[in-house]
Structure 1
Amino acid sequence: MKPSAVRDLQEGPRWGLSQEEAARRLREGGPNTLTREQPRPAWLFLGRQFRSGMVWLLLGACGIAGLLGELADAVAIATIVLLNALVGFLQEYRADRAVLALRALTAPNARVLRDGVSAMIPASEVVPGDALVLEAGDVVAADARLLDAHALLTLEAALTGESTPVDKKVGALPDGTPLAERGDRVFMGTSVAAGTAVAEVMATGMATELGRIAHLVQTAEESETPLQQRLEGVTRMLLVVCVVVAVLVAGLGLLRGQGWLELLLAAVALAVAAVPEGLPTVVTLALAVGVQRMARVNVLVRQMQAVETLGAATVICTDKTGTLTAGIMEVREVWPPTAERRVLEIAAGCCDAELPTQGKAGAGDPTELALLLAARAQGFERTDLERERPRRAEQPFDSDRRRMSILRSDGVLYVKGALEALLPLCRDVPLGVKEANAALAGRALRVLAVAEGRGADEKDLTLLGLVGLADPPRPEAVEAVRAAREAGVRTVMITGDHPATAVAIARELGLLREGESPEGTVHARVTAEDKLRIVRGWKERGEIVAMTGDGVNDAPALREAHIGIAMGRTGAEVTREASDLILTDDNFASIVAAVREGRGIYENIRKTLVYLLAGNGGELVLMLGASLLGLPLPLLPLHLLWVNLVTDGLPALALVMDPVATDVMQRPPRRPDQPMLGKREWGAVLATSLVDACVTLCTFLWALRHLSLVEARTLAFTVLVLCQLLRAFSARSERLLFWEVGPFNNRPLLAVVTLTVALQLGIQQVPALARFFSLVPLSVEQLALAFGLGLIPVSLLELRKLAVRGYARARGPASGPLSAR
């Protein structure tokens, strides 16, 4: 507050506490801070990486290999598990540190009266009974009752969702008055837009309205992500398959009189063949790629699983102010248009706000700031007016007068306020002003009347016109809402604003179209409990819910939703802590862009999973077939690990980096109950597994007749590797041929296949590596045969796509368009 104003307060009633009493209350009641989540320890992030059944299956195989003395196999499996855990740990730990850095944005001080003297203290030292001294730009440090107020307006969007300034005045209101209408109180975390006040602190810390909402966060339940649920389903199926096949092989082996050691070695080989060891790493990399892509669209990811979850969203519950709208007031219309410049000059001349200047931030009522900007666009600067015709007297706005006036040195009185307050004072009134006022208000605009007169008395005024203001929709939000609708994602607006304002903005954004009811789509005047109820309601219907917000009243709903999205610029600290994602630009369009990336990541994970499982299925059928035929093991466990990690796993890592399909936002969202792999995907896995296994097993049978066991294994090993490597190009799309997808728009895949072929040849040709892998070099003729056989699976897959396409054409247009992926 200005020094003169502070002196006036000190000469008035005795408010506030003594230093001794304040210190006593601070000791008894504790600091004025919110109980917040502590930074999570590093060990917790590391432990989270070992929750998957797939990881425990791998650890079991590692233990068996170690007991059998197969140290190379055991070390290889353990290395896989640890590397995967390390990648996931580093990503989530770094994201959490980034969020901790954002906490530094909120650390306000407070001005209080102690021993009758104004003093600036840390907000954490404010206690009940303190007298807060407030002025424009201050952040309120605690919940307080007004003792004295002059033209006080506060911004409470962070607490109530109300976007326009709230008029405050002294006077007790009933206890049951809704929070958004408590004009006699100011609340912790809100800010002063205009005016001055002194307020007695009634509650601090967790006893405040802000603290009450923060407490609700602890009662909200975090949801398991769809990806976690689906991958666990795949893992359970793999465990069942692994156990059934192991029992079958063990039973056959016992019937043939095989020894336990040999059977255990076969069991390890089958476990390695059945489990896609690279899957955890592939999923982690896919999500990490999503993290990087989302960062490019202004989304900071706290939990990697949230990348895919957002792509599965069927409902986005979003705050209005600052997310769908710009979060600032803007002059939308001036009536009459012929007098626009004069109306804006008088309106801007009757303002106390200050626009930002070089080296100085702007301050004041958002409505006045909007008037000053509109006047500047007309070539009028309020600073020039203050220099040429300084003010002689002024009467500030208050809720009783509903107007403000400033007398200039030339004798002209500038007046603005509600039309109802100005009409009785006006002598000259334009025709149709009441109709124009009704029309502007009907479009949910905040309407100000502007008048001028002579002398300090507010009488015989001339009404010049009307100004309609509103918080405008973000231009990009309109397109984002349309894109979300086309993608089958329902956008639900949740706001603390007046219902008429909310509905008008919803229609302007395209959330509501002609004839559509706002019920279920637009929720106005909501509380924190309402938001929590709305999110739970959608979840009970089986929807995947994303919730956005910036105020602490959004935090419980953010925690409850499948994915919580906080605002990075304006979001409260407790809101960011409750979130999974943070928007660095507070823009709804960024959410829709992130949905696109999330859908692309899910599609990449799914097709990569099909590719991996087809490879593992081929290995499993190969090993099982050889066992049923009474043949020696075609591949050793170390060979299978090499296939799964290097010649199968590396292409899978490249597949998850495929570009997002161009039509991904034209498809409906996948159903929440849809499994990760449906009948079509499992059919593809089975068919491809049989082809890979048949080609490799036939090669092994032929080689056993003409070559030694080591040579036969080397040839079968090479054929299986080439089958899977070349099949990666076909795995990029279920319908399009590999050259139609774009053979050169995934350069990592080209590089990986080339590198892996070189590695496969290298472990045969380098003597030390050949001994380690129990291999021998192949001749040029044998390598040519292996390449020819390796082309069989990919050729059959591409021919199948052509057959499906021909069948679709034969059925006609009713079969539907082909997907771009």
Structure 2
Amino acid sequence: MWRQLGAQFTDLFAMVLIVASGITFVAYELEQPRDLGTLQLAFAILGVVVLNAVIGFAQEYSAERTAESLQAMVPHTCRALRDGERLELPVRELVPGDVVAVEAGDAVSADCRAVEAHELSVNNAPLIGESNAVGRTAEPVAAGPPLEARNCLFMGTDVVAGSGRAVVFATGAGTEFGKIYRLAAAAPRQKTPLQRQVASMARRVAGAALAIGALLFAVRLPTGEPLVPLFVFALGVMVALVPEGLPATLSVSLAIGVRRMAKRHALIKRLLAVEALGSTTVICTDKTGTLTQAEMTVARVWADGLLHPVSGVGYAPVGEVDDPAAVRELLRVAGLCCNARLVPPTDLKHWRVLGDTTEGALLVVAAKAGVDLEAAEAATPRVTEFPFDSDRKLMTTVHRSNVGHHAYAKGAPSELLAHCTAIEWKASAGH
């Protein structure tokens, strides 16, 4: 922390001001009689340097503490099997060779290979940027890039469906997530355009102040005035040429920018990053979770040849479906043919989905249409399930009711329509 604070005084402009303050103290000592205003000026210049350093340090220290909360992406405990016992272990105690148990809703604690997989799917968005659920298998796969291996689970990702067991083969910095961290940590710090401009101006100001002070001293020296007053006069001119208020003005302006961005949930670790972002002309970024919020929302429902607009965004079931009675049965079936769960907000998190994001969007639109899925599940309990796979491109659930069994399916339109023999088309649609 002390090194971090000390770094605030190594900026060229800060050093120029410190030298200016020191020269002003010297001028005060040499003056006869001494002028209290000179002493006040010396302390004022020094105060500006300290104030600027405190503002910069406080902002960066606060941002770093906030950045530490990002470690919540990695779970702190996990379920491991050792000596035939199922234990709850701290993640830091995992070693290659450990067997971990995972199920829907868990965060993966290390890079591992699945040895058991029961309809297991994961969300690899933290690594690849795409939030689609990806099925995992316990079967051997051909050699290739680790991220493409369908039998591997990676630290920092989430299990969205199913359950299984996996053998750890990499932990900590040796994981794919750890490699990203190492790359980010190894990136050299480059000076921002503002830093380069301020440093250039500081050099010009310092050079001009020294040159003009020396010139005035040389010009007045032949007049026969005492050396000490001449030197004090030259020092005063040099100090007057240094814009003492500029660093504080810059820090306050950038701090205001940081606060404005914080209100929009943007974390800024360094004050100068605000100005650097304003100077940026090209941004290379992934899509999911950066330019988007890794959420899916149903905007329209098509039924009986009509479009029914849906209001509201995100996973909060707040909004309305136009003419909900016409689509309620459709959305009831869609909601029953889902394995995802909608989780209410807590103190730290908003509405979220455990499971596939597409299924989460279906649950939300069903709730907006007034469908009580808990009551529907109680009235038509699920008997069995045929999970979605890349061959069928369909998911089917079978439910029991008072009049028999019903199969509800969802999936690719081309596959679903190929299995249809009839369509329910209500007269209210005008057809």
**TM-score of the two chains, using structure 1 as the length reference:** 0.44
The answer for the alignment partner of 1:428 in structure 2 is: 421
From 52, 75, 87, the counterpart of 2:11: 52
Give the distance between the partners of 1:257 and 1:133, measured in 2 at CA: 91
Query: How far did residue 367 of structure 1 move?
Result: 1.9
Q: Indicate how the Cα distance of structure 1 residues 209 and 237 shifts in structure 2: closer, same or farther if over 3 A, else same.
A: same
Q: Which string of whole-angstrom CA distances, capped at 9 and with x for unpartnered residues, describes residues 668-720 of structure 1?
A: xxxxxxxxxxxxxxxxxxxxxxxxxxxxxxxxxxxxxxxxxxxxxxxxxxxxx
Show the 5 A alignment for 1:337-486.
337-338=304-305, 340-356=327-343, 362-410=353-401, 411-419=405-413, 422=416, 426=419, 428=421
CA contact (8 A) 2:341 2:353 kept: yes
Query: How far did residue 223 of structure 1 move?
Result: 1.9
Q: What is the SS of the residue equivalent to 2:13?
A: helix
The answer for the alignment partner of 2:323 in structure 1 is: none
The answer for the alignment partner of 1:246 in structure 2 is: 213
Give the distance between the partners of 1:361 and 1:140, measured in 2 at CA: 18
Give the distance between the partners of 1:366 and 1:154, measured in 2 at CA: 11
CA contact (8 A) 2:100 2:168 kept: yes
| Counterpart code for 1:160 | I
Give the distance between the partners of 1:427 and 1:288, measured in 2 at CA: 62
Structure with bigger helix share is 1
Q: Which string of whole-angstrom CA distances, capped at 9 and with x for unpartnered residues, describes residues 100-131 of structure 1?
A: 45545644321122222322212222221122
Show the 5 A alignment for 1:223-372.
223-332=190-299, 334=301, 337-338=304-305, 340-356=327-343, 362-372=353-363
Give the distance between the partners of 2:253 and 2:344, measured in 1 at CA: 46
Give the distance between the partners of 1:247 and 1:189, measured in 2 at CA: 62
From 63, 80, 91, the counterpart of 1:95: 63
Q: Indicate how the Cα distance of structure 1 residues 321 and 260 shifts in structure 2: closer, same or farther if over 3 A, else same.
A: same
Q: Indicate how the Cα distance of structure 1 residues 358 and 324 shifts in structure 2: closer, same or farther if over 3 A, else same.
A: closer
Query: How far did residue 151 of structure 1 move?
Result: 1.6
Give the distance between the partners of 1:312 and 1:306, measured in 2 at CA: 10
Q: Which string of whole-angstrom CA distances, capped at 9 and with x for unpartnered residues, describes residues 582-630 of structure 1?
A: xxxxxxxxxxxxxxxxxxxxxxxxxxxxxxxxxxxxxxxxxxxxxxxxx
Give the distance between the partners of 2:185 and 2:343, measured in 1 at CA: 40
Q: Indicate how the Cα distance of structure 1 residues 98 and 344 shifts in structure 2: closer, same or farther if over 3 A, else same.
A: closer
Query: How far did residue 135 of structure 1 move?
Result: 0.8
CA contact (8 A) 1:372 1:381 kept: no
Q: Which string of whole-angstrom CA distances, capped at 9 and with x for unpartnered residues, describes residues 620-671 of structure 1?
A: xxxxxxxxxxxxxxxxxxxxxxxxxxxxxxxxxxxxxxxxxxxxxxxxxxxx
Q: What is the SS of the residue equivalent to 1:317?
A: coil
| Counterpart code for 1:412 | H
Give the distance between the partners of 1:390 and 1:78, measured in 2 at CA: 75
CA contact (8 A) 2:103 2:159 kept: yes
Show the 5 A alignment for 1:707-718.
none
* 2:124 matches 1:163: no
| Counterpart code for 1:370 | A
CA contact (8 A) 1:155 1:193 kept: yes
Give the distance between the partners of 2:291 and 2:52, measured in 1 at CA: 39
Query: How far did residue 64 of structure 1 move?
Result: 3.5
**TM-score of the two chains, using structure 2 as the length reference:** 0.80
Query: How far did residue 194 of structure 1 move?
Result: 0.7
The answer for the alignment partner of 1:141 in structure 2 is: 109
The answer for the alignment partner of 1:129 in structure 2 is: 97
Q: Which string of whole-angstrom CA distances, capped at 9 and with x for unpartnered residues, describes residues 557-591 of structure 1?
A: xxxxxxxxxxxxxxxxxxxxxxxxxxxxxxxxxxx
| Counterpart code for 1:417 | G
Query: How far did residue 378 of structure 1 move?
Result: 3.1
Q: Indicate how the Cα distance of structure 1 residues 389 and 129 shifts in structure 2: closer, same or farther if over 3 A, else same.
A: same
Q: What is the SS of the residue equivalent to 1:292?
A: helix
Give the distance between the partners of 1:225 and 1:427, measured in 2 at CA: 62
Q: What is the SS of the residue equivalent to 1:409?
A: strand
Report % sequence identity: 40
The answer for the alignment partner of 1:210 in structure 2 is: 177
| Counterpart code for 2:377 | E
| Counterpart code for 1:53 | L
Structure with bigger strand share is 2
* Aligned residue pair count: 390
Give the distance between the partners of 1:380 and 1:66, measured in 2 at CA: 78
Larger radius of gyration: 1
Query: How far did residue 357 of structure 1 move?
Result: 5.1
Aligned CA RMSD, in angstroms, stands at 2.9
Give the distance between the partners of 1:160 and 1:230, measured in 2 at CA: 37
Query: How far did residue 286 of structure 1 move?
Result: 2.0
Q: Indicate how the Cα distance of structure 1 residues 49 and 207 shifts in structure 2: closer, same or farther if over 3 A, else same.
A: closer
Q: What is the SS of the residue equivalent to 2:163?
A: strand
Give the distance between the partners of 1:365 and 1:226, measured in 2 at CA: 43
Q: Indicate how the Cα distance of structure 1 residues 231 and 183 shifts in structure 2: closer, same or farther if over 3 A, else same.
A: same
Q: Indicate how the Cα distance of structure 1 residues 416 and 82 shifts in structure 2: closer, same or farther if over 3 A, else same.
A: closer
Q: Indicate how the Cα distance of structure 1 residues 98 and 409 shifts in structure 2: closer, same or farther if over 3 A, else same.
A: closer
Q: Indicate how the Cα distance of structure 1 residues 52 and 211 shifts in structure 2: closer, same or farther if over 3 A, else same.
A: closer
The answer for the alignment partner of 1:505 in structure 2 is: none
Q: What is the SS of the residue equivalent to 1:200?
A: strand
Q: Which string of whole-angstrom CA distances, capped at 9 and with x for unpartnered residues, describes residues 245-293 of structure 1?
A: 1222122123333332122112211112211222222222222233333
Q: Indicate how the Cα distance of structure 1 residues 416 and 62 shifts in structure 2: closer, same or farther if over 3 A, else same.
A: closer
Give the distance between the partners of 1:345 and 1:88, measured in 2 at CA: 55
Give the distance between the partners of 2:262 and 2:180, measured in 1 at CA: 29
Q: Which string of whole-angstrom CA distances, capped at 9 and with x for unpartnered residues, describes residues 74-102 of structure 1?
A: 54343443343334333333333333455
